[in-house]
Amino acid sequence: MYALTGVTKRFTKGRKEVRALDGVDLSIGDGDWLAIQGPTGHGKTTLLQLLGALDRPTSGSVVFDGDDLAKLSERRLAAVRARSFGFVFQFFNLIPTLTAQENVETALVPLKVSAKARRERAATALADVGLADRSGHLPAELSGGQQQRVAIARALVTEPAVLLADEPTGNLDEDTRDEIIGLLEGLWKDRGLTLITVTHDSTVARRAPRIAWISKGRVSLRKDDRRVQRPRRATRKGTDGEAPPKGDDGATVPKSAGGASPVTDGTTEEETAAE
Ligand SMILES: Nc1ncnc2c1ncn2[C@@H]1O[C@H](COP(=O)(O)OP(=O)(O)O)[C@@H](O)[C@H]1O
Ligand SMILES: [Mg+2]
């Protein structure tokens, strides 16, 4: 699904240059759940934005289903975004003057869906996240966890192949955090979504079968346990997604160089983009 090769992203701030991403090689298969974990300021959001075609790399390639997102025209990028990606953010980003139902419907407006179908699909999406009885509420009348559920419904109502979530539990208390991660996990399992969650929180990252650790703009795979991977869609154009199940004995596989692993549970295996 994704193959990133030599991806760099530089920002210039006055005369200072920030290397937000510094030579990232990464592959993500159809149906994977990958957590991108690392400290604040180390490039997580930048990487997620490249994966979601919200931005382009300074150099390198971000191949998604055979298209290099670094090279597509703005028009085609917008089309890929609308068709393939759903986004969830730390601060929910709901429109405060619209009800839950209306917030979810907004995602369908660019897709030329009739008003009636918009209403029905939004109602179904809200029911899928357990909020059928809150559809008429404004965001301010909902708890943080409920607001994030509305945002998840809005991201999924377009039936994207990939759900990209940037610190989706960063603004929630622990119980609500676990509830939202449980919801995302259930949706991932049921729908064969590709799920990419960015987090600085190892409790959240550990839930994912694959964890990419990011430090100073460099990425290394820290955990790769695809026993629970659930690819649904056919794999296309030779990208990834077909790794055989790992052994069930939890044996550790040698890690490559790159420092101490922050994650010790699950099968750990270093992987390169050339798998
Ligand atoms: N638009 C931007 N302009 C300048 N610097 C940026 C911009 N976006 C991110 N950065 C810098 O890139 C680095 C990585 O940022 P970010 O990807 O947001 O990190 P994280 O999400 O891990 O906290 C930081 O040093 C940040 O200040
Ligand atoms: Mg961030």
Q: Is 37 helix (H, G, I), strand (E, B) or coil?
A: strand
**Of residues 257, 256, 230, the one with CA closest to residue 243:** 230
Nearest ligand 1 atom to the CA of 40 is 23
What's the pLDDT score for residue 257? 38
pLDDT digits (tens, 9 = 90+) for 37-64: 999 999 999 999 999 999 999 999 999 9
**Count of residues making up the chain:** 275
| CA 39–ligand 2 middle distance (angstroms) | 9
Pocket test for ligand 1, best of 11, 22, 54, 55 (most atoms within 8 A of CB): 11
Q: How far is the CA of 108 from the centre of ligand 1 (A)?
A: 30
Identify whether the C-beta of residue 33 lies closer than 8 Å to the C-beta of residue 56: no
In the predicted model, residues of the chain with pLDDT beneath 70 are: 227-275
Question: Is residue 9 in contact with ligand 1, taking CB distance under 6 Å?
Answer: no
pLDDT of residue 111: 87
**Could you tell me the distance, in angstroms and rounded to a whole number, from the CA of residue 116 to the centre of ligand 2?**
37
Ligand 1 binding pocket mutation candidate from 22, 37, 42, 46 (most atoms within 8 A of CB): 46
Rounded CA separation 246/225 (Å): 7
Nearest CA to ligand 1 atom 14: 43
Structure confidence at residue 22 (pLDDT): 97
Look at residues 274, 23, 11, 55 and name the one whose alpha carbon lies nearest to residue 164. Answer: 55
> How far apart (Å, rounded) are the C-alpha atoms in residues 180 and 92?
12
Instruction: Starting from the CA of residue 41, give the closest ligand.
Output: 1
Confidence (pLDDT) at 54: 94
Distance 274 CA to ligand 1 centre (A): 27
pTM for the model stands at 0.83
Q: What is the pLDDT of residue 7?
A: 98
- Closest residue by Cα to atom 17, ligand 1, is 43
Rounded distance from Cα 41 to ligand 2 centre (Å): 7
pLDDT of residue 209: 95
Q: Is the distance from the beta carbon of residue 241 to the nearest atom of ligand 1 less than 6 Å? A: no
Q: Torsions phi, psi of 121, nearest 5?
A: -65, -40
| Shortest-distance ligand to the CA of residue 49 | 1
Nearest to 50 by CA among 187, 217, 224, 269: 217
| CA distances in angstroms from 18 to 21, 46, 216, 271, listed in the order given | 9, 12, 10, 27
Under CATH, which architecture does the 2-228 domain have?
3-Layer(aba) Sandwich (3.40)
Q: Where are the domains of the chain?
A: 2-228
How much distance in Å is there from the Cα of 61 to the middle of ligand 1? 19
pLDDT at residue 214 in the model = 97
How high is the pLDDT of residue 103? 98
